[in-house]
Structure 1
Amino acid sequence: MSTFDPKPILASLPNLPGVYRYLSAKGDVLYVGKAIDLKRRVSSYFQKNDQSPRIRLMLSQVADIQTTVVRSEAEALILENNLIKALAPRYNILFRDDKSYPYLVLSGHAYPRLAYYRGALDKQNQYFGPFPNGYAVRESIQLLQKVFKLRTCEDSVFEHRARPCLLYQIKRCSGPCTEEISTEQYRADVHNAVQFLQGKAHDLLADLDEKMRAAAGAWQFEEAAAYRDQIQALAKVQEKQFVSSNASETDADIVACAVENGLVCVNLVMIRGGRHVGDKSLFPAHGEDYDAQTALEAFLAQHYLDRTIPPVIVCNSSSDNATLVELLSAQAGRKIAIVSNPIAERRVWLEMALKNARLAIAQRLSLESTQLGRIEALQEALGLPDTAQRIECFDISHTMGEATVASCVVYDRLGMQPKEYRHYNITGITPGDDYAAMRQVLTRRYGKIAQGDGVAPDVILIDGGKGQIGVAVEVIEEVGLQDALLVGVAKGETRKPGLEQLVVPSRQQTLQLPRDSAALHLIQTIRDEAHRFAITGHRARRGKARVSSSLEEIEGIGAKRRQKLLTRFGGLQGVKAASVDELCQVDGINRALAEKIYQALH
């Protein structure tokens, strides 16, 4: 138990709004909270006798209390959530959803471009979203291409086309790059696409039907047929939407939280333009012992602050969100409504989201049960203690020694941990020397961990045979990391899955587990993930190296010609997209040199 005496600190706390932080003896932040009255709120932790086991455990570790006074409860809410995201305290519920959500964007050009976008928003463009994932955006782009034939090509390609591309031929683009469509007609298509994205499909269909009849009445049958095709395509799109809304607001988020079997799940459903564009299930860190209402309040604050907010948020929380509503409305520049007791179709949406949250919990429990069986089988096969669960696996990837990259993937807490994956660029070795590459990556990673900077693994998997594992043994002895079990995963004689041999140097033994072994399946999964991650890193490094030096390495292309090429085509990607005839149009580039440039870049 902690010997910390809070009385001197409690006596000095003001009766003002602010944020408080509980710190451990090591200086780690254990918990961050907000209060309208700091003195009353912090004192209540040490005066109550009916605290939950989680709170009692936290208080037993407290060695210091820090506070920050602010002007209002709203400011306290902002500061609290900023600190939670930055510090990730052990006893706060934390939604790790740092990745920005994707948007569909229509650029502000004379011929607007339809594109996938993720990042900061620019007022010059029109954005629609956000969407729950990239698939939902790309599906919407494909639908809009079929119906409205808007361009999706990069500006550098669009500005230098001499003839329409394949998309024009297959009727997925109207060909504005070569003026196959007038500016007025293209703007009309853009306007119709915006109407559709804003949920005004009914008005759009009525407008198109009127134009079709007018064109037919004027004997302009080709134009009428084009309107007819658009109407039919729109009707098919509407048929595919399994959820649609007739409500006045076309954008809404549905947020449902479920708590079952010690797991907390929040299901986020996005309604955009009156269409259900997808959902996402989120499992918070440190969610044990929290009820649904507390978890939902934490999600609403952490998720929507500093993010694009729809006009309506429907959730299954009955608490008072007045402060949060005020903050979100100020952030959005318009009124935001949080509806906790919905009716009609909103209730149907919420019930569907709640059902999905419960299904996600059931799936997570099933997966954890499978993973638990696998890790227990591995512990038994390798003679590991019951506490062993962290596994790190290494692989090397290169192309004949070029752009060598090592990967390290991590399996922990009954699952792969992508945020802990690392790429290591290997330099200063003989190209193609896998042993030297393995030595370098292991030294760089475990040299720091042996000194206390990082988490030591229970098992280290090396994708390779006795040569690679021999190098690994030397490195582990040199850095002084003795507790981890080294295991080499060598392919069998025929290199078929299921015939892998496990080399365990500390026991001087080689194991071959049965093909149906749960332990072998876990090792194969981790090994294959390390292989995939290594190849991804290698290709990225190789591509970057080749692209950055491609023009400089072409004989006959000096600084002046290189500058002219890059200026004419808007960058290296534009040069790569140019044909030989287009390259010849650049001052100082004859046909022979143009062909040489084209061959070098392709």
Structure 2
Amino acid sequence: VTIASSETDAFINYLQIKEGAIIFSKNLEIKKKLDEPDEEILSMAVQELRSEHRSNNPEVFTNKELSVKSDDFENIVPQIGDKKKLVDLSLKNALYLKREREINKEERKTKKNEVLHILQENLRLNQYPKIIECFDNSNFQGTNPVAAMVRFVDGKPDKKGYRHFNIKTVVGPDDFASMKEIVGRRYKRIMEEEGEYPQLIIVDGGKGQLSSACEALQELGLYGKIPIVGIAKRLEEIYYPDDSLPLLISKKSPALLLIQRIRDEAHRFGITFHRLKRSNSTFVTELESIPGIGKKTADRLLAHFRSFKKIKEATLDELKEVVGEAAAEKIVAHADEKAID
């Protein structure tokens, strides 16, 4: 049994030998833990492979000494002779698997880079769009307006960079003003924190939303420094600022498909947040309908339990710790009445 490894993965080859002939071969790929030694991975793999394939051979030849000894077999790291040649053959198989995975990884990376280069060409961008950020508004009949931003790096979602926004300055359903607010808040914060700007901003919406986003960039002195486009929902057309005609991109272009994927992800992320906020808002309203329970008490419960589901599942004692005995008893009594209804 031999091992070849990279920083993140270990590649194992297992050969079974009987009367000098190879009767079975198997490759394994294992994700490494941080700073996990090859000797430990190999020891674990040997035990699992012997158990899986019911091997009772008294000798196990490896390219590295096992960190865990066993009474069931002797571990040998041969230095010369036929046994060394067998270990070298096994190691060659492990190295071949490692190289094959590295090539596949590079090909996938190259393919992603090709799409981003096509995007750069289609949108006539001066810079390679390594970081792309997309904004989406979400409201239902004007209630609970929220927004979302997703961040893609090298063509892949960077979920640590995703952001939700509660709309603060806009009253009622106003997509244009909401878009201006969230774009302004996002890049004002990056300016203040000296963060990394994207090479492309995508706005989910047509010319109106795009113009509003541009106003926010103008107020920050960023307009013209970061490329920005809008994707109109009805015909999936791409618009530049100050251009009444959409950009002509083939509907089959991988660049357009990437923009649509990023837009769809922003929409999904925003809708999820909006549903959560609507559910919480509905529950706060329900709590406030209980005599003696006000908005502050309802907000305190949500802040502590994080979701209305957990509030409903909370015991009387758990509720008492947050809002006191009297309010807790009222909430439990209300919940019991609802259950009976």
TM-score class normalised by the smaller sequence: 0.5 to 0.7
1:480 and 2:216 correspond = no
The aligned runs of 1:287-436 (5 Å cut-off) are 299-300=35-36, 313-314=44-45, 360-385=101-126, 387-436=128-177
1:257 alignment partner in structure 2: 5
Q: CA shift at 1:504, angstroms? A: 0.2
Distance 1:545 1:357 in 2: 52
Report the identity percentage.
31
Distance 1:595 1:512 in 2: 60
2:264 to 517, 528, 535: 528
The 1:551/1:352 distance shift into structure 2, 3 A limit, reads: farther
SS at match of 2:287: coil
The 1:438/1:359 distance shift into structure 2, 3 A limit, reads: farther
1:573 and 2:316 correspond = no
SS at match of 2:151: strand
Instruction: Tell me the alpha carbon deviations over residues 77-123 of structure 1, each in whole angstroms, 9 at most, x when there is no partner.
Output: xxxxxxxxxxxxxxxxxxxxxxxxxxxxxxxxxxxxxxxxxxxxxxx
Distance 2:175 2:202 in 1: 16
Query: 2:288 corresponds to which letter in structure 1?
Result: E
2:88 alignment partner in structure 1: none
1:175 alignment partner in structure 2: none
Distance 2:76 2:197 in 1: 45
1:552 alignment partner in structure 2: 287
Q: CA shift at 1:385, angstroms? A: 2.5
The 1:320/1:377 distance shift into structure 2, 3 A limit, reads: same
Instruction: Tell me the alpha carbon deviations over residues 517-555 of structure 1, each in whole angstroms, 9 at most, x when there is no partner.
Output: 1111111111111111112222333334444x2652334
Query: 1:411 corresponds to which letter in structure 2?
Result: F
1:471 and 2:215 correspond = no
1:336 alignment partner in structure 2: none
Query: Contact 1:435/1:468 (CA < 8 Å) preserved in 2?
Result: yes
SS at match of 2:144: strand
2:231 to 478, 489, 493: 489
Query: 2:274 corresponds to which letter in structure 1?
Result: H
In structure 1, the gaps of 5 or more residues are: 1-253, 259-263, 270-277, 283-295, 302-308, 326-338, 342-349, 493-498, 563-569, 576-586
Distance 1:514 1:372 in 2: 19
Distance 2:330 2:159 in 1: 49
Query: Contact 1:281/1:360 (CA < 8 Å) preserved in 2?
Result: no
User: How large is the RMSD of aligned CA atoms in angstroms?
Assistant: 4.8
The aligned runs of 1:576-595 (5 Å cut-off) are none
Number of residue pairs matched by the alignment: 268
The aligned runs of 1:55-134 (5 Å cut-off) are none
Instruction: Tell me the alpha carbon deviations over residues 174-226 of structure 1, each in whole angstroms, 9 at most, x when there is no partner.
Output: xxxxxxxxxxxxxxxxxxxxxxxxxxxxxxxxxxxxxxxxxxxxxxxxxxxxx
Query: Contact 1:465/1:488 (CA < 8 Å) preserved in 2?
Result: yes
SS at match of 2:128: coil
Query: Contact 2:10/2:31 (CA < 8 Å) preserved in 1?
Result: yes
Query: Contact 2:3/2:63 (CA < 8 Å) preserved in 1?
Result: no
Q: CA shift at 1:430, angstroms? A: 1.1
Distance 1:571 1:391 in 2: 38
Query: 2:267 corresponds to which letter in structure 1?
Result: H
Query: 2:105 corresponds to which letter in structure 1?
Result: R
Query: Contact 1:460/1:484 (CA < 8 Å) preserved in 2?
Result: yes
Query: 1:484 corresponds to which letter in structure 2?
Result: I
Q: CA shift at 1:413, angstroms? A: 2.6
Query: 2:5 corresponds to which letter in structure 1?
Result: C
Q: CA shift at 1:375, angstroms? A: 0.9
In structure 2, the gaps of 5 or more residues are: 13-27, 47-61, 69-74, 78-90, 299-309, 316-328
Distance 1:599 1:425 in 2: 36
Distance 2:132 2:123 in 1: 13
Higher relative contact order (CA 8 A, sep 6+): 2
Distance 2:166 2:214 in 1: 22
Instruction: Tell me the alpha carbon deviations over residues 285-321 of structure 1, each in whole angstroms, 9 at most, x when there is no partner.
Output: xxxxxxxxxxx8x6328xxxxxxx9996459x97899
Distance 1:361 1:451 in 2: 40
SS at match of 1:457: coil
Query: 1:416 corresponds to which letter in structure 2?
Result: P
Question: What is the TM-score when the length of structure 2 is the normalising length?
Answer: 0.61
Query: Contact 1:267/1:279 (CA < 8 Å) preserved in 2?
Result: yes
